[in-house]
Amino acid sequence: MSSLVDLRIETANMAGTALSMMTYGVHITLFFSTIRLYIEPPSARKRDWRLLTYITILFCFATAGISTQMFLNHKAFIENRDYPGGPFAFLVDEVDSPMNLAVTAIYVVLNWLADGMVLYRFFIVFRCATLSIVACIVMLLSLIVVGSIFLPNISSLILNLWTNTSTVPGIAYLTLSLSLNVILTFAIVGRLVYLRRQSRKIGGPGCGVVYTSSVAILVESASLYTVVAFICVIACGVNSPLQNALLPMLGQLQAIPPLLITLRVIEGRAITRDGLPATLPWRFKARDSVLSFDRKSAHLHSLALENAAAKIPIDVRLDVSDIEIGEIQYPAETHAYAF
């Protein structure tokens, strides 16, 4: 017969499974909402099929994770409900089983994919600078190395109250992933705020709206995962049974932020790679000039100057860093790949 403490832990574990299923339901809704935008009649919006591939891979891993997790719980609570010590004792004895390691491995790889989106956004917003490339590679390799080497420790986090496996590497991995998300998100937001300020200096208070929208989307998408991950780190650190309810949910929750951002990008509500200026700040002085430019190449493609006396139009080609101008006419629509 299970003790009262074990029964409470089993209850927390089942609550975690329920929360995980609810989060997976949100994932399904967002995934098919995004798919709907791809199968709608062709429109002016340019579709990036690489994004579709990315979110499909996320969905496949999330589905594999929840399926394997449910199968493991089925074995514990249905097939082995009379196991000596109860279902939770069965889970403790199976902590190093291939099935338990498979669940952890799926969610760890899903974490790499989700964090990879954060790294990609950081890489793009900072315009592919050498320092950003090095930083992204180092951080991604750190996650992969720690997650691969200490996979058994990570898989035992939910059972650390009853096993002798060290939880330090598992907590370190969670902390590393959480820190990466928080630091990079703050860096991206700071960069976008800077770009918004520069845009307003150039074009007035009405400019920079897209940057404000992108900041809101980033904060909105990252906030829930950050809060839950932070609570999980604390719960694991103090050996609280709360970790049994939150860790299964966290595995599914980490796929939501990149999917939210992808959906906003496809809807045209987020800034894209081509929406970022190549050079800032620009200076504008010529009051009688009108300019339009191709944001994909970030070069001027035409400059029409009308002589006040002769009324003769002049067409020239110039690089954006070589001219001071007065008014920018942006294209009506932005066709760009994902941010």
Q: So what CATH class is 4-270?
A: mainly alpha
Q: Specify the pLDDT at position 127.
A: 73
Instruction: Tell me the domain boundaries of the chain.
Output: 4-270, 279-339
Of 27-36, 105-114, 324-333, the range with the lowest mean pLDDT is 324-333
55 vs 215, residue with greater confidence = 55
pLDDT tens, residue by residue, 145-197: 999 998 888 887 766 555 556 678 888 888 888 888 888 888 888 887 887 77
Closest CA relative to residue 106, chosen from 78, 134, 64, 141:
64
Predicted confidence at residue 312, as pLDDT, reads 40
- Rounded Cα–Cα distance for residues 28 and 160 (Å): 31
State the amino acid at position 283 in one-letter form: R
pLDDT score recorded for residue 46: 63
User: Structure pTM?
Assistant: 0.73
What does the alpha-carbon distance between residue 225 and residue 249 come to, in Å, rounded to a whole number? 10
DSSP 3-state percent helix, strand, coil across the chain (nearest 5): 65, 5, 30
Confidence of residue 206 (pLDDT cuts 50, 70, 90): low
d(CA 232, CA 247): 7
pLDDT score recorded for residue 337: 36
- Residue 279: the pLDDT is 44
Closest by CA to 302, choosing from 289, 312, 313, 292, is: 292
Q: Which of 289, 264, 37, 251 has the alpha carbon at shortest distance from 154?
A: 251
- C-alpha span between 339 and 325 (Å, rounded): 28
